[in-house]
Amino acid sequence: MSAFVWRRLSRTAFGGALLLWSSACKPEAQAAAEAPAAEPPVEDAAEPDREPGGDSATLAAGTPSVGDDDDALDPPAEPAVAEAAPAVPDVPDEPALPEQPYRVLILGDSLAATGIGALLEKKLDAHPNVDCFRKGKSSSGLARPDFFDWHDQAKRQIEFRTPDLVVVILGGNDGQDLTRRSNGEGKRVAWNHEDWADAYRERVDSFLAEVTGDERKVLWVGLPTMGMRSLEKKLVLIRDIQKSAVEALGDKGMYLDTAPFVTNEEGDLLMQAEVGPRGKVQELRSDDRIHFTMAGSEYFADHVYPSVLEALSLPDVQPDP
């Protein structure tokens, strides 16, 4: 073969040219040349990623090891490769719905006894997989069992309602001296005494022991921010104790910090917000900056509701009209 032809052949065509030369010079090697070549081992590898805008036909045929040459011999035809179907994104499985509705019990002071508790109960009862019950007592708390003993009442309600989840809204009235229970249990501790925090923690732990169980969880709704400085200063301590006690329960306890939806970005009390499905801006608090208006109660209940469903691992299913 001439040097001219040799220069024009690319490396891809080199094997073909060599085969022609061998056929002309060595007829006895023809049989060996015509024998099928051994197939290279097929690697069990994923299809290479395609570059944006790539030609699917080129990718299906494979990419040559060197650049194309006009004079290169055509490679033997390869069988068409079926293009892989587009990958289907994984869709997380929805939690299985219970055979019987979950039973939710709301316990608490005036926040549970009036607007917020009533509206939250109504909203939960509208869910097809929830049955909701409520027990509230205004001016009550854990500090004054001589006025209303929540340890005793919680035990009775648990036995009567057999809930799967207990929602607690309690503590706004607890910034005062601690009194003993009617049976003599508990310590009498003044509000400003150094032992108050530890004694109150014991009461929260004891109350939680009554409302939780092997298959029962608690969602403790953190006390909303108040517009009265002296009251808010007390609530800071009470919130911290309640949160720490609930977190100590592990998977059985969930604490909802309500500050993000009752204060603005600067941390000031939120007095107005969009309320309800129409999103109408309404007043959330009364003039004392403590009590909620009815619109404020609806707003607060609407923000607690998703956390209740989360605690139950339930989707937000709208009831049939």
Per residue in 190-248, pLDDT (tens digit) is 999 999 999 999 999 999 999 998 889 999 999 999 999 999 999 999 999 999 999 99
Task: Assign residue 278 the CATH number of its domain.
Answer: 3.40.50.1110
Decide if 296 is inside a domain.
yes
Q: How far is CA 303 from CA 86, 171, 258, in A?
A: 40, 19, 8
* pLDDT score for 193: 97
Computed from CA positions of residues 40, 46, 52, 55, in that sequence, does the dihedral angle turn out positive or negative?
Answer: positive
Decide if 42 is inside a domain.
no
User: What are the tens digits of pLDDT across the range 39-48?
Assistant: 444 444 444 4
Decide if 205 is inside a domain.
yes
Decide if 163 is inside a domain.
yes
* pLDDT score for 2: 44
| Domain span including residue 124 | 103-312
Q: Residue 169 in 3-state DSSP?
A: strand
* pLDDT score for 85: 58
* pLDDT score for 76: 54
Q: What's the Rg (C-alpha) of the chain?
A: 37
- Tell the residue number behind the tokens 């998977």, with chain if given: 251
First and final C-alpha spacing in the chain: 89
- Angle at 50 (CA atoms; ends 48, 52), nearest 5 degrees: 165
* pLDDT score for 186: 85
Decide if 27 is inside a domain.
no
Number of domains in the chain: 1
Decide if 132 is inside a domain.
yes
Tell me which residues of the chain have a pLDDT lower than 50.
1-74
Residues 6+ apart with CB under 8 A from 36: none
Decide if 14 is inside a domain.
no
Decide if 83 is inside a domain.
no
* pLDDT score for 183: 85
Q: How far apart are CA 166 and CA 170, in angstroms?
A: 12
